[in-house]
Structure 1
Amino acid sequence: MEREGYVSLWVGGFESKRDLDEYLKIEFTEDGDALPSRLGEDFFIDYYDEDFREAKFFEKPPESLEEALNGFSYDEVIVPAFEGKYKGFLNTAVLLYNFYYEERAEGKKSPLLFVGTIRYK
């Protein structure tokens, strides 16, 4: 759900940047209606503004979540806020800004794991 000043974070593993791009791709019908991306399908998100999405695939996986988040917008706020919230393997991070996600995807198999939502401004 869109909400100004919040950012939601997902992390996970993909085989390639191309796989990540395909996962995040929003397609359109002939009438111009948006069809949800696989991210939207997996996490029951009807709509998010692509202009407020940042995603990165790391060829060399970072050693920590904090290392992965360095360089994203508002990293001076999001790195300390998410510190210690995830300790597993990751080679991908996806952030939706001005978006407040509340976990609803129990049992759904996805290459991404929802980490949390924080206020960034």
Structure 2
Amino acid sequence: MIDIKNKVSIWLANFTTEEKLEEYLEFRYSELEDLPRSNFIDDFEIEYYDEDFQEAYCANNISSVKELLDPISYSESFIYKVGDTSDSQCNSVVAIYNYKYVNQKQGTDNIQFLGVFDYDS
């Protein structure tokens, strides 16, 4: 079993509004499926994660990666591990705590996987 304690998986994205980001992440429940789905889960071929450990937001404008990560929980413990990404053209971030994304899919047109980082709570 993969040890996921104190791991955070991060994605960077561009969404026109906070509502569009929320809609993208929103879990859908179906009688035909055992686990909830979302556009995000489908895009990244994720089986399941606990949405209680998800944090996401959409900034008002394009920001550097470090500016996007700064307000999220525990970022001070891993933000220094993020490489030079000053050319980023993103305005949104999705963080899933106690989850290690291991699939190979790196992104879509508007959302890219940044990486998995250790964090201190």
TM-score, normalised to structure 1's length?
0.85
Is 1:35 the counterpart of 2:30? The answer is no
Gapped regions of structure 1 (runs ≥ 5): none
Structure 1 residue aligned with 2:74:
74
Structure 2 residue aligned with 1:4:
5
What is the deviation of 1:4? 1.2
Q: Which amino acid aligns with 1:18?
A: E
CA distance in 1, matches of 2:24, 2:3: 20
8 Å Cα contact 2:53-2:97 kept in structure 1: yes
Structure 1 residue aligned with 2:97:
97
- Closer/same/farther in 2, CA of residues 10 and 71 from structure 1, 3 Å limit: same
Structure 2 residue aligned with 1:118:
117
Secondary structure at the aligned position of 1:4 is classed as coil
Structure 2 residue aligned with 1:84:
84
Identity %: 30
What is the deviation of 1:28? 1.1
CA distance in 1, matches of 2:11, 2:117: 12
Q: How many equivalent residue pairs?
A: 119
Deviates most, 31-40 or 74-83: 31-40
Q: Which amino acid aligns with 1:97?
A: Y
TM-score, normalised to structure 2's length?
0.85
Aligned-CA RMSD value: 2.2
Is 1:109 the counterpart of 2:111? The answer is no
Per-residue CA distance 1:29-67 (angstroms, 9 max, x = gap)? 2488433111110111010111110001011222x1111
CA distance in 2, matches of 1:95, 1:45: 14
What is the deviation of 1:87? 3.1
8 Å Cα contact 1:6-1:117 kept in structure 2: yes
Secondary structure at the aligned position of 2:97 is classed as strand
